[in-house]
Amino acid sequence: MLVGMTTNADSTRPGADRAPRRRPPAGAAVLREDVTEAIRTAVFEELAAVGYARMSIEGIARRAGVGKTAVYRRWRSKLHLVLDLVSAVAVQGLPAPDTGSLEGDLRLLYEVTSRALRHPVAGQVIPDLQAEAARNPEIAEAMQKALREGQQGVASGIVAAAAARGEIRAGVDEELALDLMSGPLYWRAVVVRGPRPPKDYLTGLARATAAALRAL
């Protein structure tokens, strides 16, 4: 007898008179990507508007135009939601510059990074999450991943390309290189929160950083 075929004898088996089990509707477990994206956008906007401490699932759902259940189907709590989104930033990273020179790569990296850090949402969200990180080890770990590892691959690529061109020596300490490359902009935009740097500042910063990397 082939599997799945039935005969009249099957009706005599125990439990045969029970109603067949219902199957979930087709696509019931599929989460709509447009709804997920709307929630992600709402999280960043809500963080910028009220901060992490006052942020709520209700507020996120209202801003996204969905019900609370749509949020809870994707994340268990606002902590898990924020940790997931912050960690995603690290995975996305930045586009790797490829200008043909160390100074040119750094100049392009600084331009893209400066623009991102000056975004109104980022300018409010990052300091708020840093304050929360001082009280919450999980957020601290996610922030470290997003702010450091998010640029690790790009920095490694710039250093490797410069070494291949003979602009810097091979075997440069990548941790130190990353600190030299990323520190100044984060200090200015996130810590000090000074005015928007002019283009000649970014050019000078790229030149100074390139000189520092050559000296390592």
- The 10s digit of each residue's pLDDT in 139-192 is 888 777 766 666 777 888 899 999 999 999 999 998 899 889 988 888 887 777
pLDDT at position 11 is 37
pLDDT at position 9 is 36
Residue with the bigger pLDDT between 23 and 199: it is: 199
Cα(177)–Cα(154) distance, rounded to whole angstroms? 11
Q: What is the CATH number of the domain that holds 56?
A: 1.10.10.60
Q: Are 96 and 102 in contact (CB under 8 A)?
A: no
- Considering the domain architecture, whether residues 106 and 153 belong to the same structural domain is answered as yes
| Average pLDDT score over residue span 59-71 | 95
CB half-sphere exposure, 203, CA atoms < 13 A: 3
Residue 8: pLDDT over 50: no
Backbone angles phi, psi at 79, to 5 degrees: -65, -50
* Locus of tokens 């910063």: 205
Q: Among 138, 127, 124, 34, which Cα is nearest to 82's? A: 138
- Considering the domain architecture, whether residues 52 and 106 belong to the same structural domain is answered as no
Q: Are 118 and 62 in contact (CB under 8 A)?
A: no
Out of 30-39, 47-56, 60-69, the most confident range is 60-69
- Considering the domain architecture, whether residues 49 and 95 belong to the same structural domain is answered as no
- Considering the domain architecture, whether residues 106 and 164 belong to the same structural domain is answered as yes
* pTM exceeds 0.75 for this model: no
| Average pLDDT score over residue span 58-69 | 95
Which residues constitute the domain of residue 117?
A: 89-215
pLDDT at position 76 is 87
Q: How many domains does the chain have?
A: 2
Radius of gyration of the chain (CA): 26
- Considering the domain architecture, whether residues 110 and 209 belong to the same structural domain is answered as yes
Mean pLDDT over all residues of the chain?
Answer: 79
